[in-house]
């Protein structure tokens, strides 16, 4: 596997399809990729996993577009569905993502929906899909299938997400595994509408600290569970306290602390150091994630040392975003006020 493709696929849970990715990388010098984020409050550690993949894509020559999906947030009742609050969320995300992933470009859903033909394409995608398929895709919003019965606009959301891909004219759609339904909908509709079919790249989901922590959409890290979520604005003391209570069995399956190292910290830092006081033997360094995992599962790395080391490493990753907020707190302050 060549270096460019290896970087694109590093750490991903799924690529649909690898053959199409090969064709894309060989035919285009600067392909276009996109990922969408609803403005929905303060970012948490799980948000950073797909953003790390954005870094890889930028380094691989992709033009990466982050869609700040204000209309989608409105449909999904985020920030009270208030447009001033949604704008605050968009401004905040633009600032944070610019710090974490330099070199990306930004568009808003408000800009896209004004493009000629956007709503026509939403109807065409809807025409190419069944109501049953749309209902099943509501999981991309963190909703169950019954939520659409209370609010018809919810059913437009999956069709809009597919249309976003066509409207942005991107070659690759990036998202967590929880976005798979939307990307498959976009690929299937593209076939029926005779449009270019996007490659879909899916990153793993971080498990909730409170467990069971399995890598599935029901147990993912979410702001709706504050005690199980590590916010990018938590200081080192708060991170340490939250992680001290984390579910952390002596097994790999369903271990959210090891998830954080494998999918976020080791790729972001490029090294693995478990900070530990000198009186307990000093810092521990590992050559790879697999070495860390083996040490923990064998019992030679104590769970509390793993948790405290995870807090210190995560603080190192998020500190540049915290520093940016201290230097210019306008967007953060406005968003926090909107959330209260």
CATH number for 163: 3.40.50.620
Domain assignment present for residue 208? The answer is: no
> Of 72, 109, 80, 75, nearest to 338 (Cα)?
80
Evaluate whether 211 touches 221 at the Cβ level (below 8 Å).
no
From 141, 171, 203, the end of a domain falls on 203
Are residue 196 and residue 241 in the same domain, yes or no?
Answer: no
Distances (CA, A) of 221 to 20, 126, 203, 228, 257: 31, 31, 14, 7, 12
Domain assignment present for residue 185? The answer is: yes
Predicted local confidence at residue 3, as pLDDT: 73
Predicted local confidence at residue 143, as pLDDT: 67
Are residue 192 and residue 238 in the same domain, yes or no?
Answer: no
Predicted local confidence at residue 215, as pLDDT: 43
Torsions phi, psi of 203, nearest 5? -95, 155
Domain assignment present for residue 209? The answer is: no
Are residue 321 and residue 189 in the same domain, yes or no?
Answer: no
Predicted local confidence at residue 146, as pLDDT: 66
Domain assignment present for residue 284? The answer is: yes
Torsions phi, psi of 67, nearest 5? -90, 115
Distances (CA, A) of 265 to 40, 117, 218, 340: 24, 42, 23, 31
> Which CATH number characterizes residue 263's domain?
1.10.240.10
Are residue 184 and residue 296 in the same domain, yes or no?
Answer: no
Q: Which domain holds residue 111?
A: 3-203
Predicted local confidence at residue 218, as pLDDT: 47
Domain assignment present for residue 11? The answer is: yes
Domain assignment present for residue 235? The answer is: yes
Classify each residue of 56-67 as buried b or exposed e, where b means 16 or more C-beta atoms within 10 Å of its C-beta. bbbebebbbbbb
Domain assignment present for residue 210? The answer is: no
Are residue 222 and residue 192 in the same domain, yes or no?
Answer: no
Are residue 132 and residue 193 in the same domain, yes or no?
Answer: yes
From 203, 229, 252, the end of a domain falls on 203
Are residue 13 and residue 160 in the same domain, yes or no?
Answer: yes
Predicted local confidence at residue 167, as pLDDT: 97
Are residue 182 and residue 224 in the same domain, yes or no?
Answer: no
Evaluate whether 153 touches 146 at the Cβ level (below 8 Å).
no
CA angle at 171 for the pair 168 and 172, rounded to the nearest 5°? 100
Predicted local confidence at residue 211, as pLDDT: 81
pTM of the model: 0.91
Distances (CA, A) of 236 to 96, 121, 201, 309, 322: 19, 47, 32, 11, 11
Domain count within the chain: 2
From 142, 171, 203, the end of a domain falls on 203
Are residue 178 and residue 231 in the same domain, yes or no?
Answer: no
Are residue 31 and residue 129 in the same domain, yes or no?
Answer: yes
- Distance separating alpha carbons of residues 23 and 308, to the nearest angstrom: 44
Are residue 188 and residue 277 in the same domain, yes or no?
Answer: no
pLDDT in single tens digits along all 340 residues of the chain = 677 899 999 999 999 999 999 999 999 999 999 999 999 999 999 999 999 999 999 999 999 999 999 999 999 999 999 999 999 999 999 999 999 999 999 999 999 999 999 999 999 999 999 988 888 888 777 766 666 577 888 889 999 999 999 999 999 999 999 999 999 999 999 999 999 999 999 999 998 898 874 444 446 666 656 667 899 999 999 999 999 999 999 999 999 999 999 999 999 999 999 988 888 889 999 999 999 999 999 999 999 999 999 999 999 999 999 999 999 999 999 999 988 7
Domain assignment present for residue 113? The answer is: yes
Are residue 198 and residue 254 in the same domain, yes or no?
Answer: no
The residue length of the chain stands at 340
């Amino acid at each position: 596997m060549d270096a460019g493709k290896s970087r694109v696929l590093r750490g991903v849970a799924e690529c649909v399809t690898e053959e199409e990715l090969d064709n894309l990388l060989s035919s285009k010098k600067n392909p276009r990729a996109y990922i969408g984020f609803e403005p929905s409050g303060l970012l948490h550690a799980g948000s950073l996993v797909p953003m790390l993949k954005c870094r890889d894509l930028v380094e691989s020559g992709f033009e990466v577009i982050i869609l700040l999906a204000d209309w989608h947030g409105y449909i999904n009742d985020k920030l009270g569905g208030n447009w001033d609050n949604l704008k605050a969320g968009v401004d905040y995300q633009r600032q944070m993502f610019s710090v974490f992933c330099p070199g990306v470009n930004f568009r808003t859903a408000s800009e896209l929906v004004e493009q000629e033909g956007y709503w026509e394409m939403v109807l065409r995608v809807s025409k190419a899909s069944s109501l049953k398929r749309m209902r099943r895709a509501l999981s991309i919003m963190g909703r169950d299938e019954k939520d659409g019965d209370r609010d018809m606009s919810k059913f437009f959301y999956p069709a809009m997400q597919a249309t976003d891909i066509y409207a942005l004219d991107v070659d690759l759609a990036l998202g967590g595994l929880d976005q798979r339904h939307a990307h498959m909908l976009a690929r299937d509709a593209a076939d029926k509408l005779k449009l270019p079919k996007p490659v879909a790249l899916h990153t793993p989901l971080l498990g909730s600290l409170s467990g069971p922590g399995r890598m599935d959409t029901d147990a993912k890290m979410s702001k709706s569970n504050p005690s199980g979520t590590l916010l990018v604005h938590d200081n080192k003391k708060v991170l340490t306290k939250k992680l001290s209570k984390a579910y952390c069995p002596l097994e790999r399956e369903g271990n959210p602390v090891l998830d954080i190292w494998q999918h976020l910290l080791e790729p972001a830092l490029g090294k693995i150091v478990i900070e530990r006081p000198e009186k307990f033997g000093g810092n521990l360094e590992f050559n790879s994630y697999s070495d860390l995992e083996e040490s923990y599962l064998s019992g030679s790395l104590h769970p509390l040392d793993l948790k405290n080391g995870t807090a210190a490493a995560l603080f190192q990753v998020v500190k540049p975003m915290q520093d940016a907020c201290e230097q210019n707190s306008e967007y953060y302050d406005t968003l926090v006020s909107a959330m209260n």
